[in-house]
Amino acid sequence: MFCVSFIGRAIFPPKLWSVSELMDHGIPRTQNIVEAWHRRWSTLVGKPHVGVYTMIEELQKEQQRVDLEIECIKREEPKPKQKKQIIDREKRIMTVYKDISNSVLEFLRGLAHNNIISM
């Protein structure tokens, strides 16, 4: 299975899993926003099993928060600041990504180095 998945022909076409198009348009490469939402939801609800009414109340609060965020976007208000460490790491990754003179090995080393120093 390892050879089929990682060495041989790909099961899924690169178009399905590649993030290069996302990077070209400045869209996040990861699902961190989804993970952050799930963590916030877990904190709001506070327990693994909640009643229907609690769930409805929390969903209404979340809808209000999303509506407020949409209004901020419509008014073109600036996004909340990211941490400097994250901004710097993203710049380094984009530098590696855009350097077309890199060999495949140099490209992978550059990405790995930036992920290691950010942990």
Which residues of the chain carry a pLDDT beneath 70? 1-8, 31, 116-119
Q: Tell me, yes or no, whether 51 lies in a domain.
A: yes
**What tokens appear for 55 in the block?**
């769930």
pLDDT, tens only, 11-23: 788 777 778 888 8
pLDDT at 5: 56
Q: Tell me, yes or no, whether 54 lies in a domain.
A: yes
pLDDT at 63: 93
Total domains present in the chain: 1
Q: What is the pTM of this model?
A: 0.50
pLDDT at 36: 81
Q: How far is C-alpha 34 from the geometric centre of its chain's CA atoms?
A: 8
Q: Tell me, yes or no, whether 118 lies in a domain.
A: no
Distance CA 13, CA 25 (A): 20
Q: Which domain holds residue 47?
A: 31-80
